């Protein structure tokens, strides 16, 4: 992990740490108690929690960014974990996050 930190610029590590720690400002915050209805995705009408998995792999509104940067329309939980674990995929994942978030 230390070599991975040295091989990537801070802007890439920023997004990877945000995703791994569920620290992105999504509606679902696992570290806070809140009304479950307030935690639903505000972009799509699937009625799902807006968590890291939904943001990174499921939300249909963000699929154009996933196709562009990750080469897939959607990601299963295992695939998202693979992206987070494989430092060779971090740049693509960070680019996706930056585009989808902002």
List, for residues 61-101, the tens digit of each pLDDT value: 999 999 999 999 999 999 999 999 999 999 999 999 999 99
Instruction: Classify burial at 81, counting beta carbons within 10 Å of its beta carbon; exposed 0-12, middle 13-18, buried 19 or more.
Output: middle
Instruction: Identify whether the C-beta of residue 90 lies closer than 8 Å to the C-beta of residue 8.
Output: yes
Structure token pair of residue 82: 């693979």
Alpha-carbon torsion, ordered 98, 73, 29, 84, to 10 deg: -70
pTM metric for this prediction:
0.89
Instruction: Identify whether the C-beta of residue 55 lies closer than 8 Å to the C-beta of residue 100.
Output: yes
8-43 per-position pLDDT tens digit: 999 999 999 999 999 999 988 877 777 767 899 999
């Amino acid at each position: 992990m230390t070599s991975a930190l040295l091989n990537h610029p801070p802007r890439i590590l920023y997004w990877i740490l945000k995703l791994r720690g569920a620290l992105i400002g999504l509606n679902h915050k696992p570290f806070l108690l809140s009304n479950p209805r307030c935690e639903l995705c505000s972009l799509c009408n699937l009625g799902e929690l807006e968590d890291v998995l939904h943001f990174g792999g499921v939300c249909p509104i963000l699929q154009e960014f996933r196709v562009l940067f990750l080469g897939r329309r959607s990601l299963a939980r295992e695939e998202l974990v693979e992206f987070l674990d494989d430092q060779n995929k971090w740049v693509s994942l960070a680019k996706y996050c930056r585009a989808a978030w902002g």
